[in-house]
Amino acid sequence: NAGVTQTPKFQVLKTGQSMTLQCAQDMNHNSMYWYRQDPGMGLRLIYYSASEGTTDKGEVPNGYNVSRLNKREFSLRLESAAPSQTSVYFCASSNLPSSYNEQFFGPGTRLTVL
């Protein structure tokens, strides 16, 4: 039982390049989330998926797109990376759509955009 896994662990991009961050969970959770964490800003929600087939914007969605590929997988895409997207990205999942239950986090992807 691996929990929540994320790939890659580290990535360096040049401005304008695109990439997809992958996330998978093996806990049969309905809901999945993408956050970014910046110094002094805390965790901020980018997008979330309350259930398979649905996605919704969070607090900071601009410059990102997501795909809930199936119940296990939730990917985050940067179409044209900008230096302001340098951050640590975390994927999380929870058992209930309302997420009043605990969220389980992956180990994070450290992204640098030059």
Partner 1 sequence: SQKIEQNSEALNIQEGKTATLTCNYTNYSPAYLQWYRQDPGRGPVFLLLIRENEKEKRKERLKVTFDTTLKQSLFHITASQPADSATYLCALLGGTASKLTFGTGTRLQVTL
Which stretches of the chain bind partner 1, using CB under 8 A? 4, 31, 33, 35, 40-45, 48, 50, 58-59, 90, 92, 97-108
Q: Which is nearer to partner 1, 3 or 83 (CB)?
A: 3
Q: What are phi and psi of 83, to 5 degrees?
A: -55, -30
Minimum separation from the CB atom of position 99 to partner 1 (A): 5
Q: Which is nearer to partner 1, 17 or 45 (CB)?
A: 45
Of 111, 96, 77, residue with least CA distance to 32:
96
Minimum separation from the CB atom of position 72 to partner 1 (A): 18
Q: What is d(CA 82, CA 63) in angstroms, rounded to the nearest whole number?
A: 9
Q: What is d(CA 3, CA 92) in angstroms, rounded to the nearest whole number?
A: 10
Minimum separation from the CB atom of position 89 to partner 1 (A): 10
Q: Which is nearer to partner 1, 7 or 80 (CB)?
A: 7
Please identify which residue in the block is written with the tokens 């969970």.
25
Minimum separation from the CB atom of position 80 to partner 1 (A): 26
In 12-109, which residue ranges form alpha helices assigned H by DSSP?
Answer: none
